[in-house]
Amino acid sequence: MEYGPIATYTLPGFGRFVTVNDPESLEHVMKGNFDCYVKGDILYKILYDFLGDGIFNASGDNWRMQRKLFSHLFNVKNFREIICVVFEEETKKVLAILDKLAESGEPCDLQDLFYRFTLDSFGKITFGLDFKCLTNPDEPVKFAQSFDFVQGELGKRLQNGFWNITELFTKEGRRLPEECKYLTEFSYQIIKDRRNDPETTKKPTDILNLFMNAKYDNGEILTDIQLRDVILNFIIAGRDTTAQALSWMMYNLMVNPSIEEKLVKEVNSLLSDEEQIPNYDTVKQFQYTQATFYETLRLHPVVPNNFRVCLHDDVLPNGTPIYAGELVNWSSWAAGRDERLWGKDAKIFNPERFLNSEDGLKPSQYKFTSFNCGPRLCLGQSFATIEAIMLATAALRKYKFELLPDQKSPPDFKISLTLPMKKPLLVKVNHR
């Protein structure tokens, strides 16, 4: 094969794809020749109904401006004084729910519980809004239901080049605009409430305030439409990805008891009755737990597939020609299982690989792509890692989780923009 193990294919309505499957080529696309590879009109139109011109759907100056503003949130002061304080508050609520379930013996849907935890946490940190998901754990959350439905339908668009036609003839396709309208109106209400409360807008650490007070280079402020995009883009980043990663992590621990034993041993050595939940200064000590979280993301990346559009003719480092208008795609899901990258045990869940390798817990972003890479490297990597470690360690110290006998293993995942489990992750909760 002239260019090595590389695949190309054509999808009607999309065009020709060239699959990038080595770190060197991915680094070229996502960093070395970054301005040549953009999200493009195809992806933009697929996601626009939901994400608008938010950071995940934006390119060029609009993306750069948003990224610069977002970066101001993730500093040590905010982590210590705001972010981790909220994480601790919400973790205590999760522990109280688990305590009741352990006493009653009722099954627990861990994925739903984690969704509630991350939505409540993110709502408070970024918008000062309490969704009260954990306050009423048995009640459905309309916002979350609409959010999940829209994501699922947009995920289907990525596999259907003629979605703008076929959606006219399906029940789900006709429902999609209604759900997008609900999410939009919900977001506008948040913005309206904030504008009607001048004192609240003075908080510099609030993401919404940060953007409401921001100005473009020409002095213009963001419109309500642009602020809506900020809200919806950040919720998908803060709620879905971490909740799904926690779900896959807990599943992998339940089916790998020897790994769970090592993790719990670390937890018991670092936590106590006096400190039942790690804080910002101690969370970094949980090396094995972080390795387990990363190993989960290696095999279950929350954004399993991605692609870019080539603006002008280019050549990859391995000699593969890419022509203007063609799409370059890569799969973090496939890369995580590639023996050429991870060795013969690539398909085995083994957290030690992140502790015993030269890279350790700072692997190459072009090999371990679960947090994206290059200039678009995830700004919330530390946010998600700290959130997951705080909740997982506190829960595993007190409780042992067992899959229900009829729980499918491994769980199926459903079509979406991210990687949710298709069905509830039902477990029995026991006191340790």
Work out the burial of residue 215: count CB atoms within 10 Å of its CB; fewer than 13 is exposed, 13-18 middle, 19 or more buried.
exposed
CB atoms within 10 A of CB 76: 10
Task: Give per-residue burial for 176-192: e unless 16+ CB within 10 Å, then b.
Answer: beebbebbbebbeebbe
Helix (H) or strand (E) holding 10: strand 8-11
Sheet order of strands, 37-38 included: 8-11, 15-19, 327-331, 305-310, 37-38
Annotated binding site: 378
Q: Which residues are annotated as part of the binding site for heme?
A: 378
Q: DSSP letters along 388-414, please?
A: HHHHHHHHHHHEEEEE-TT--SSPPB-
Which residue in the block uniquely carries the two structure tokens 């509630």? 116
Nearest to 298 by CA among 234, 375, 374, 359: 359
Element counts in the chain: helices (H) and strands (E) = 18, 10
Phi, psi (rounded to 5 degrees) for 331: -120, 110
Residue 129 has which token pair? 């809004």
